[in-house]
Amino acid sequence: MYVVSVADVLYGYVSKNTEITINGWIRTKRNSKAKISFLDLYDGSCLASLQIIANHNLHNYSNEISRVTSGCSVTIIGTIIESLGTKQHVEVIAKNITILGWIENPSTYPITAKHHTMQYLREVSHLRPRTNIIGIISRVRDTLSHAIHKFMNKHKFIWIPTPIITSSDTEGIGKMFCVSTEKTKKNINCSKNEEKIKKYCPYDFFGKEAFLTVSGQLNAEAYACALSKVYTFGPTFRAEYSNTNRHLAEFWMVEPEAAFVNLNEIIILAESFLKNVIKTILEKCSDDLKYIANHIDSDIISRLENFINTSFIHIEYTEAINLLKKSHKKFKNSIYWGSDLFSEHEKYLSEKYFNAPVVIKNYPKKIKAFYMRLNKDNKTVASMDILVPGIGEIIGGSQREERLSNLDERLRENNLTQENYWWYRDLRRYGTVPHSGFGLGLERLILYITGVKNIRDVIPFPRSTKNINF
């Protein structure tokens, strides 16, 4: 006898009139007058649930099956039959139903069949995967992650696990978590007091200050300067106190890095990458997307289809500033050549002005990281941000500064020491090559794909300030 999943039955991988064993949880139960119960069974294998017909002549009908509530776990032996109802093609007529797990006090079960707000569900993050919406997000996230690995593999990028615990600060912007094992009262890490660090660090696990990485890029560059094309796909960390619906303290990034590739080529790769993975979601998650269209965001499918069929707009930073000035809109953050672009500006450009994904290129060096390649104008660097409507920045990337003297100049300008970057400098001293890369925030892409509004709903157990439950 087959042990099968709900998807196996509903998608026709098992033929009608087959006797099967199937496990899962009850989504809802409905009793007919004719002493028949209809149980909707789900097991996470797909969005839809499978209707189980439980006749009153089952031996445990009155003392068990009739008491089943939403959330109970069961094993069912039964036969797949053509459905008489209109909601589904097939259903299962049960020969035996074993209750594996009951719901302790059903009236207080946190996940009933009724609608719950996303905010409420976050408080029961351990149970929320039992809901339709978190099930959908989980399947989309899984499909997306596989599509990412597949795209990179097809394009001959080698996956590199860059270190999570690090002694260097890629972005040079701080906001890092400290890592320590020292169990004394003296806080040896994260201290601004240089004397204290010198005194106690030797006794800590790593013998020096240790942080959680904000990006695997610098390490990935070392591998790109040997294997040509590499990528990272792993967790990264920012100790950001801002409590917005777009920020997490712990999130996943994809960071390809390619030798012999310039800024324009990496932009082409990024565009083709985004379109490819979204195309995969449209193909493989159509039921999940239909549910989203019906319940959350009616435009979702046409928006994703538009995305893969529209060419990205490419503009220079200087042009972006001019467009923003000409808009005569009142922005909270003032706009001038040299100013950073904030969320309000990005929204205006990608949502109002172009209503399309926009690539902004060649930002002023003063607002960008030290590793970006200086352009001939001596004022801008070969950088790019990709903005998408509704989300804002989804990808940031650049051509890297491969010329040692320019890199040293940029380190100096940023008050960073050559000593701390000795190995990164080595990559420029020995067989240096032009190379480029970008970083994609995975959760932001999932927000775009699912239409979900809060980033804490697209990662199973979100981490942010004051939030480390589960």
> With binding defined as CB under 8 A, does residue 416 bind its own copies?
no
E strands present in 272-319: 313-316
Closer CB to its own copies, residue 127 or residue 356? 127
Closer CB to its own copies, residue 237 or residue 317? 237
Residues 108-147 that bind its own copies (CB under 8 A): 109-111, 125-127, 129-130, 134-135, 138-139, 141-142, 145-146
Q: How many residues bind its own copies (CB under 8 A)?
A: 113
Token representation of residue 416: 């960073």
> With binding defined as CB under 8 A, does residue 239 bind its own copies?
yes
Work out which of 11, 85, 158, 340 binds its own copies, going by CB under 8 A.
Answer: 158
Residue 258 identity: A
Residues 311-330 that bind its own copies (CB under 8 A): none
* CA pair distance 364, 415, nearest whole angstrom: 18
Nearest to 269 by CA among 138, 127, 439, 130: 439
Contact 366, 338 (CB under 8 A): yes
What is the longest distance spanned by two Cα atoms in the chain? 85
Minimum CB–partner distance for residue 116 and its own copies (Å): 14
> With binding defined as CB under 8 A, does residue 377 bind its own copies?
no
E strands present in 276-391: 313-316, 358-361, 383-388
What x-and-dash track marks residues 256-275 binding its own copies by CB under 8 A? ---xx---------------
Minimum CB–partner distance for residue 398 and its own copies (Å): 18
What x-and-dash track marks residues 277-316 binding its own copies by CB under 8 A? ----------------------------------------
Residues 439-468 that bind its own copies (CB under 8 A): 459-461, 463, 465-468
Closer CB to its own copies, residue 17 or residue 184? 184
What x-and-dash track marks residues 170-189 binding its own copies by CB under 8 A? -------xxxxxxxxxxxxx
* CA pair distance 25, 43, nearest whole angstrom: 6
Closer CB to its own copies, residue 104 or residue 328? 104
Work out which of 13, 82, 100, 299 binds its own copies, going by CB under 8 A.
Answer: 100
Closer CB to its own copies, residue 18 or residue 138? 138
Work out which of 41, 103, 315, 395 binds its own copies, going by CB under 8 A.
Answer: 103
Contact 398, 444 (CB under 8 A): no
E strands present in 331-410: 358-361, 383-388, 392-399
Closer CB to its own copies, residue 186 or residue 366? 186
Contact 251, 7 (CB under 8 A): no
Neighbouring residues of 46: CB distance < 8 A, sequence distance ≥ 6: 5, 6, 7, 10, 11, 139, 287
* CA pair distance 425, 65, nearest whole angstrom: 70
Neighbouring residues of 311: CB distance < 8 A, sequence distance ≥ 6: 271
Minimum CB–partner distance for residue 347 and its own copies (Å): 28
Closer CB to its own copies, residue 7 or residue 118? 7
Measure the N-to-C terminal CA separation of the chain; round to a whole number of Å: 38
Work out which of 83, 113, 235, 280 binds its own copies, going by CB under 8 A.
Answer: 235
The three state secondary structure string of 196-222 is HHHHHHHHCCCCCCCEECCCCHHHHHH
> With binding defined as CB under 8 A, does residue 432 bind its own copies?
yes
Work out which of 71, 78, 392, 397 binds its own copies, going by CB under 8 A.
Answer: 71
Residues 197-216 that bind its own copies (CB under 8 A): 205-208, 210, 212
- For every residue of 136-172, DSSP letters joined together read HHHHHHHHHHHHHHHHHHHTTPEE----SEES--TTS
The 3-state DSSP class for residue 258 equals strand
Closer CB to its own copies, residue 154 or residue 326? 154
Residues 11-70 that bind its own copies (CB under 8 A): 23-26, 43-45
> Which run of H or of E encompasses 107?
none
Minimum CB–partner distance for residue 208 and its own copies (Å): 6
Minimum CB–partner distance for residue 230 and its own copies (Å): 8
> With binding defined as CB under 8 A, does residue 419 bind its own copies?
no
Contact 391, 347 (CB under 8 A): no
Token representation of residue 325: 């000035």
> With binding defined as CB under 8 A, does residue 430 bind its own copies?
yes
